[in-house]
Amino acid sequence: MTARPGGIDTEELPLYLAQRDRQRSGGPAIVSFGGGHGLYAALRAFRLLTESLTAVVTVADDGGSSGRLREELGGLPPGDLRMALAALCDDGEWGRTWRDVIQHRFQSAGPLDEHSVGNLLISALWQLLGDHVEGLDWMARLLRTHGRVLPMSSVPLVIEADVELRSGGPTSVIRGQSLLAATSGRVDQVRLDPVDPPARQETVEAVGRAQVLNLGPGSWYTSVMPHLLVPELERAIVESHALKCLTLNLPGAQAETADLTLVDHLESLHAHAPRLRFDHVLVDSTAAADEPGLEQTALRLFGARLWSRPVAARRPRAHDSLKLAACYRDMLIDAGITVDEQW
């Protein structure tokens, strides 16, 4: 038996992953892309339909606990990855307890203030193992997650954008996810630094095996768009024969996309990824009713059918995961894909 410093057995994890994959073979292979609360809602929905679920997560966060750990330790920011792991915890006592633990933030007058327990655990595994995916797989084992969490790239990224001030004036360049997410200007062009970042091979392989690919919901320029700016990942998505779905945000966003209509969202995505096509664009029915040109735009830009259903939660600007699950279920069944319903 081989162990690394810290006593972690390097042979046991692959055996566990193989056993897990054999046990969790029900339902279609689904990959969902995003970050933060939007991806959390999508994953909580998809985990009701399949045991073969992969979350692909942005790695450009530079704010809060993630930003501090990224600056101090190097490596990927762990926060959005932690959120995805939390979404995949089951609803039993073990899952609920560990979900609460990794989501807990310390409150203190010292350097631990506002650090997430999960961020620290993930960072510790990365230092011990020297590999981001292996560390995330060990976290998934601890949490007994229903699915796998993978980073979209193997290196930490910086998001940069050309932003036009809404009050007029010259276009400025905003650099950094936290600043871009809070901008009051109108975002024009989004870029990544480095401009040609490597994708994780495990992520590309998951896309290649997928029967269903879903992009969104989430912060448009900082959680959704970045996946299409990693060339190898964008190519894998475009060339995939899987059923492809774009889940649109709910209206009423603050900052970043505050003045954008849903048609504007589609046009901005198409401008950054003109080769991309979707089978369905999923939108809340109330939001769709307020934009009569949305259906035509989805068809014109992406060749997509507009799938309009009530998916909003009672909380403002939040998706209801159960409603999303029902919508995804109907969408997959309509496409002839068998789901593993766990209602």
Q: How is the chain split into domains, by residue range?
A: 26-56+196-335, 60-151
* Two structure tokens written together for 172: 């400025």
* Two structure tokens written together for 215: 């992009």
Q: Which of 310, 335, 132, 119 is nearest to 214 (CA)?
A: 335
Distance between CA atoms of 97 and 149, rounded to whole angstroms? 19
Which amino acid makes up residue 125?
A: L
Q: Which of 134, 32, 131 is nearest to 84 (CA)?
A: 32
Per CATH, the number for 26-56+196-335 is 3.40.50.10680
Q: Give pLDDT, residue 343.
A: 45
Q: Give pLDDT, residue 4.
A: 55
Torsion of CA 190, 82, 53, 241, to 10 degrees: 10
- For 127-156, the DSSP string reads HHHS-HHHHHHHHHHHHT-SSEEEES-SS-
pTM of the predicted structure, to 2 decimals: 0.91
What string of pLDDT tens digits covers the 343 residues of the chain?
345 545 555 555 554 555 555 445 579 999 999 999 999 999 999 999 999 999 999 999 999 999 999 999 999 999 999 999 999 998 999 999 999 999 999 999 998 888 999 999 999 999 999 999 999 999 999 999 999 999 999 899 999 999 987 666 778 999 999 999 888 888 989 999 999 999 999 999 999 999 999 999 999 999 999 999 999 999 999 999 999 999 999 987 766 788 889 999 999 999 999 999 999 999 999 999 999 899 999 999 999 999 999 999 988 888 999 999 999 999 999 999 988 665 4
Q: Which residues contact 284 (CB under 8 A, 6 or more apart)?
A: 248, 250, 308, 309, 310, 311, 312, 319
Q: Which of 165, 76, 80, 69 is nearest to 114 (CA)?
A: 69
Q: Which of 244, 220, 228, 215 is nearest to 331 (CA)?
A: 244
